[in-house]
Structure 1
Amino acid sequence: MTTSRRAARRRALTVAVASGLVVSGTAAPAALAAPSADAVIAEVYGGGGNSGATLTNDFVELANRGAAAVSLDGFSVQYAPASGNSWQVTPLTGSVAPGARYLIAQAKGAGGTVALPAPDATGSLALSATAGTIALVQGTTALNCKTAADCAADTRIKDLVGFGPAAVIREGSAAPAPSNTASVARGTALADTDDNAADFTSGAPTPTNGKGETPGETGPPAVNAKIHDIQGTTRISPFKDRKVAGVTGVVTAIRSFGSARGFWITDTAPDADPRTSEGLFVFTGSTTPAVAVGDAVTATGTVREFYPDAPATSPYQSLTELTSAQWTVDSSGNALPAATVVTPDSVPDTVAPAPGGSIEPLLLEPAKYSLDFWESHESELVSVSDARVVGPTSSFNELYVTTKPKQNPSVRGGAVYLDYDRLNTGVLKVASLIPFAEQPFPKVNTGDVLTGETSGPVEYSNFGGYTLFATKLGAAKDNGLQRESTRAQRSGELSVATYNVENLSALDSDEKFGELAKAIATNLAKPDILNLEEIQDNNGPTNDGTVAADQTLRKFTDAIVAAGGPRYEWRQIDPENGKDGGQPGGNIRVGFLFNPARVSFVDRKGGDAITPVDVVKERGKTHLTVSPGRVDPLNEAWEASRKPLVGEFVFQGRTVFVVANHFNSKGGDQPTHGRNQPPVRSSEVQRAKQATVLRGFIDKLLASDKNANIVVAGDLNDYPFSPAVKTLTAGDALKDLIASLPENERYSYVFEGQSQVLDHILASKAPRGVDYDVVHLNAEFAKQASDHDPQLLRFRPSAGNPVQDAFYDLADYLEKVLGPYLPKP
Structure 2
Amino acid sequence: MTTRHHAALGALTVAALTSALLTVPAAARSAADADGQLRIHDLQGSTRLSPYADRTVREVPGIVTGVRGYGSKGFWIQDPRGDGSAATSEGIFVFTGSGPAPGVRVGDSVLVSGKVGEYYYGGSGSGNQSVTQISGPEVTVVSSGHRLPRPEKLHADRIPEAYTPPGDPAQEDGIEGLALRPERYALDLYESLEGMNVQVPDARVVGPSTPYGELWVTVKPRQERTVRGGTRYSSYDAQNSGRLKIETLTPLSEEPFPATDTGDRLTGGAAGPLDYDQFGGYNLAARETVTVERRELPQERTRAQRRGELAVATYNVENLDPGDDPAKFQRLADGVVENLASPDILALEEIQDDTGARNDGTVTAGKTVSKLIDAIAAAGGPRYEWRGIAPQDGQDGGQPGGNIRNVFLFNPERVSFTDRPGGDATTATGVTEQRGRAALTHSPGRVTPEDAAWEDSRKPLAGEFRFRGRPVIVVANHFASKGGDQPLHGRVQPPQRSSEKQRLRQATQVNTFVKEVLAVQRKAKVVVLGDINDFEFSPTTQALTDGHALRSTVRSLPRDERYTYVFQGNAQVLDQTLVSPGIRRFDYDIVHTNAEFADQVSDHDPQVLRFRP
Q: TM-score range by the shorter chain?
A: over 0.9
Separation in 1, partners of 2:287, 2:51: 30
Identity of aligned residues (%): 55
Higher alpha-carbon deviation: 449-458 or 730-739: 730-739
Contact 1:712 / 1:762 at 8 angstroms: preserved in 2?
A: yes
Match in the other structure for 1:321 = 133
* Alpha-carbon offset, residue 4 of structure 1: 6.4
1:214-613 alignment runs, 5 A limit: 225-258=38-71, 260-286=72-98, 287-311=100-124, 313-356=125-168, 357=171, 358-436=174-252, 439-613=255-429
Equivalent-residue separation in structure 1 for 2:23 and 2:375 (angstroms): 64
Structure 1 position 2, deviation (Å):
7.1
SS of residue paired to 2:274 = strand
Amino acid at match of 1:3: T
The yes-or-no answer on 1:740 pairing with 2:523 is no
Counterpart of 2:78 in structure 1: which amino acid? T
- Give the superposition deviation at 1:225: 2.1
State the Cα distance separating 1:765 from its structure 2 match: 2.1
Instruction: Give 1:803's aligned residue.
Output: none
Corresponding residue number in structure 1 for 2:3 = 3
Cα separation, partners in 2 of 1:218 and 1:439, compared to 1, 3 Å:
closer
Instruction: Tell me the equivalent position of 2:567.
Output: 751
In structure 2, the residue matched to 1:719 is 535
- AA in 1 matched with 2:297: L
Conservation of the 8 A alpha-carbon contact between 1:569 and 1:595: yes
Distance in 1 of aligned mates of 2:468 and 2:510? 27
Output one character per residue of 1:161-215: Cα deviation in whole Å (capped at 9) or x when no partner: xxxxxxxxxxxxxxxxxxxxxxxxxxxxxxxxxxxxxxxxxxxxxxxxxxxx9xx
CA distance in 2, matches of 1:330, 1:732: 71
Contact kept in structure 1, 2:154 and 2:219, CA below 8 Å: yes
Mapped contact 2:437–2:524 kept (Cα < 8 A): no
- Segment drifting more, 430-439 vs 588-597: 430-439
Give the whole-Å Cα distance in 2 for the aligned partners of 1:764 and 1:219.
66
SS at match of 2:543: helix
Tell me, in whole angstroms, the C-alpha distance in 1 between the residues paired with 2:580 and 2:538: 19
Higher RCO, 1 vs 2 (CA within 8 Å, ≥6 residues apart) = 2
CA shift, 1:308, in A, is 2.4
Deviates more, 1:628-637 or 1:285-294: 285-294
Question: Offset at 1:734?
Answer: 1.2
Q: Secondary structure at the match of 1:393?
A: strand
- Cα distance in 1 for partners of 2:219, 2:231 equals 11
Q: Name the amino acid aligned to 1:283.
A: F
CA RMSD of aligned residues (A): 1.9
Instruction: Give the partner amino acid of 1:320.
Output: T
1:627-675 Cα offsets, whole Å, 9 max, x none, are 0111111000111111111100000010000000000110010011111
Distance 1:245 1:584 in 2: 49
Matched to 1:666, the amino acid is: K
**2:414 & 2:366 partners in 1: Cα distance?**
23
How far 1:757 sits from its partner (Å)?
Answer: 0.4
2:24 and 2:161 map into 1 onto residues whose CA distance is 44
By how many angstroms is 1:246 displaced? 2.6
Partners of 1:786 and 1:745 lie apart in 2 by 19
- Is this contact kept in 1: 2:213–2:252, CA < 8 A? no
Alignment of 1:22-171 (within 5 A): none
Check the 8 A contact 2:41/2:82 in 1, yes or no. Answer: yes
Give the match's secondary structure for 1:677.
Answer: coil
**Residues 435, 693 of structure 1: CA spacing in aligned structure 2 closer, same or farther, 3 A cutoff?**
closer
- Listed one character per residue, the Cα deviations across residues 324-375 of structure 1 (whole Å, up to 9, x for unaligned) are 1112112211111100011111111112122223111111111111111100
TM-superposed deviation, 1:542: 0.6
Moved more, 301-310 or 786-795: 301-310
Secondary structure of 2:107 counterpart: coil
Shift of 1:521: 1.0
- CA distance 1:666–1:437, change in 2 (3 Å): closer
Q: Is the CA contact 1:719–1:758 (under 8 Å) kept in the aligned structure 2?
A: yes
Q: Which residue identity is paired with 2:535? A: Y
Contact 1:4–1:325 (CA under 8 A) maintained in structure 2? no
Could you say which structure has the larger radius of gyration? 1
**Matched residues in 2 for 1:530 and 1:227: separation?**
58
SS class of match (1:368): coil
One-letter code of the match for 1:545?
G
- In the comparison of the two structures, how many residue pairs are matched? 585
TM-score, structure 2 length as denominator? 0.93
Cα distance in 1, alignment partners of residues 84 and 114 from structure 2: 25
Secondary structure in 1 matching 2:210: coil
Q: Is the 8 A contact 1:261 1:285 kept in 2?
A: yes
One-letter code aligned to 1:692:
T
CA distance in 1, matches of 2:293, 2:108: 34
1:779 matched residue in structure 2: 595
Tell me how far apart the structure 1 counterparts of residues 371 and 254 of structure 2 sit (CA, whole Å): 42
How far is the alpha carbon of 1:619 from its aligned partner?
A: 2.8
**In 2: Cα distance, 1:439 partner to 1:624 partner:** 58
| Closer/same/farther in 2, CA of residues 436 and 314 from structure 1, 3 Å limit | closer
Secondary structure, counterpart of 2:267 in structure 1: strand
Which residue is equivalent to 1:674? 490
For 2:498, give the aligned amino acid.
S
The one-letter amino acid of 1:420's match is Y
Distance 2:596 2:476 in 1: 24
Does structure 2 retain, via aligned residues, the 8 Å contact 1:453–1:473? no
Q: Deviations over 1:737-789 (max 9, x none)?
A: 11111111000000011000000001112225411100000000000100000
Distance 1:308 1:622 in 2: 52
Are the equivalent residues in 2 in contact too, given 1:217–1:241 (CA < 8 A)?
A: no
Distance, in Å, in 2 between the alignment partners of 1:218 and 1:267 is 19
Q: Aligned partners of 1:217 and 1:701: how far apart in 2?
A: 72
Task: Tell me how far apart the structure 1 counterparts of residues 490 and 344 of structure 2 sit (CA, whole Å).
Answer: 43
Q: Normalising by the residue count of structure 1, what TM-score does the alignment of the two structures yield?
A: 0.69
CA distance in structure 1 between the partners assigned to 2:245 and 2:313 by the alignment: 33
Per-residue deviation, 1:472: 3.5
Partner Cα separation in structure 1 for residue 547 and residue 512 of structure 2? 13
> Whole-Å Cα distance in 2 between the matches of residues 393 and 218 of structure 1?
43
Which residue type is aligned with residue 434 of structure 1?
Answer: T
Cα contact 1:389–1:444 (8 A) shared by 2: yes
What is the DSSP-based 3-state SS (H/G/I as helix, E as strand, rest coil) of the residue aligned with 1:499? Answer: strand
Equivalent pair of 1:453/1:472 in contact (CA under 8 Å): no
Q: How much does 1:434 deviate?
A: 2.7
Could you tell me which residue of structure 2 aligns to residue 761 of structure 1?
Answer: 577
Deviation at 1:439, TM superposition (A): 3.9
Could you tell me which residue of structure 2 aligns to residue 84 of structure 1? none
Matches within 5 A, 1:608-623: 608-623=424-439
In the alignment, residue 246 of structure 1 is paired with which amino acid?
E
Matches of 2:204 and 2:24, distance apart in 1: 50
Q: Which residue is 2:451 aligned to?
A: 635
Name the CA shift for 1:4/1:589 in 2 (closer, same or farther; >3 Å). farther
Counterpart CA distance in 2 for 1:423 and 1:517 is 35
In the alignment, the residues of structure 2 paired with residue 526 and residue 633 of structure 1 have an alpha-carbon distance, to the nearest angstrom, of: 30
Contact 1:2 1:329 in 2 (8 A): no
